[in-house]
A = this chain, B = another copy of it.
Amino acid sequence: MAKKKLRVGLIGYGFMGRTHANAYKSVGNFFESGHEPELTAVCARDGTRAKAFAEQWGVKSVETDWRKIVARDDIDLIDIASPNDTHEEIAIAAANAGKMVACEKPLGRNAAESRAMVAAVEKAGVANMVWYNYRRVPAVTLAKQLIDEGRLGRIFHYRAKFLQDWTIASDLPQGGEGLWRLDKQVAGSGVTGDLLAHCIDTAMWLNGAIDSVSGMTETFIKERVHNVKGGVQKVTIDDASAFLARFANGSLATFEATRYARGHKALYTLEINGEHASIFWDLHDLHRLEFFDHKDEGRTRGWRSVHITDGDHPYMDRWWVPGLQIGYEHTFIHQVADFLKGLDEGKPAAPTFRDALATDLVTDAVLKSAETGRWERVA
């Protein structure tokens, strides 16, 4: 069967640029589709770096101005992997140019930006997707299946946390290459938009809408050298953020994210307790799902450590043989596979821009609550 090319223009060449490039390159080796991605162009302000990236990943051409890539006729999809403060402008321009748009998370720096982006892609009627990649961890996808099948029954509790420790050193600067996540102007917020956004996207996918929140944020290191602006500057992002929540289905939740949890690099954990069963998952061992089923015989009832490597686990029939695990980057490959399948079938893959906006409404409410000291309803 002749495949249709999906010509990708990738904006950004950092950590996320690499995970996306790898996904486009590898997906066809493992997943069938009528669409075949091609790395047509990569764009970065620094031409030398863009060129090096293109060489390493076999990208056909290079641009240093994102406007050019948006304007090119030989590009079908604009993939935005550049810092958060560029998302809105690029996405809207791409949509207006009739391109499909994929965007790294969070969608905008706040819900207002995200709303404008949703409006643009919906008006243009272009396929759109946000890289909340953790939905495509096979263990997490399996959790979704089990919940949707009613295996957990009524849900009582949800808890999630995303713990890191990379900003504890007080001599770590803010701003610039790799450190823009410490600069509120660029990032929009600190861990709330960076880490909690992941937790919230998964949570609402698994457990439905969040009604209201009570939040708390803190900036532990008050001042840092600013690489771009120069000199010691006040730190304006949130280093840590936690909130209580009530879901629409009546369940209660606790959420927490920080970059000051010594000993944890990317410990994203989630747990959901239902009437009949409970589920726990942990990014540090992402190929396992812990599952407790109260229907098991009493004497031998216990948390099952399910090693998600069998052919009957989501996505896993495409990979190796039972017992052999996949890793982090595979979640991006799965997301591209589902996006291509969506194109094949004319049904867009989630999460769309609209889905991602819902997350931004929650993060906005959390940040507002942290200021007001009161519960806030999610708009």
Contacts and interface: CB of A to CB of B under 8 A. Distances in A.
Contact of A260 (B56, B156, B304, B307): B156
Contacts of A62: none
Interface in A274-311: 274-278, 283-289, 291-294, 296, 298-307, 309-310
A242 interface: yes
Contact of A263 (B246, B284, B294): B294
A26 interface: yes
A375 B304 CA distance: 39
A119 interface: no
A252 B238 CA distance: 13
Given A28-B56, A304-B302, A168 B313 contact: no
This protein's copies in its complex = 4
Contacts of A304: 296, 300-305
Interface in A234-269: 240, 242-244, 246, 250, 252, 254, 256, 258, 260-267
B327 A265 contact: no
A261 B240 contact: no
Given A29-B57, A156-B240, A320-B328, A302 B291 contact: yes
A293 B306 CA distance: 12
B325 A284 contact: yes
B277 A262 contact: yes
A222 to B, nearest CB: 11
Q: How large is the interface on A (under 10, 10 to 19, 20 to 34, 35 or more residues)?
A: 35 or more
A328 B156 CA distance: 28
Contacts of A146: 299-300
A372 B210 CA distance: 20
A205 interface: no
A159 interface: yes
A326 interface: yes
A346 interface: no
Interface string A163-201: 111101000000000000000000000000000000000
A211 to B, nearest CB: 12
A165 B328 CA distance: 27
Contact of A302 (B15, B165, B306): B306
A361 to B, nearest CB: 20
A291 B326 CA distance: 23
A112 to B, nearest CB: 26
A324 interface: yes
B299 A312 contact: yes
Contacts of A320: 15, 18-19, 328-329
Q: Which 4 A-B residue pairings sit nearest by Cβ, starting from the closest? A: A266-B323, A265-B323, A263-B292, A302-B304
Given A157-B240, A266-B324, A299-B310, 17 more contacts: A19-B320, A156-B240, A163-B273, A215-B244, A242-B254, A254-B254, A263-B273, A263-B292, A263-B294, A263-B303, A265-B324, A299-B312, A302-B304, A304-B305, A305-B305, A327-B330, A374-B374
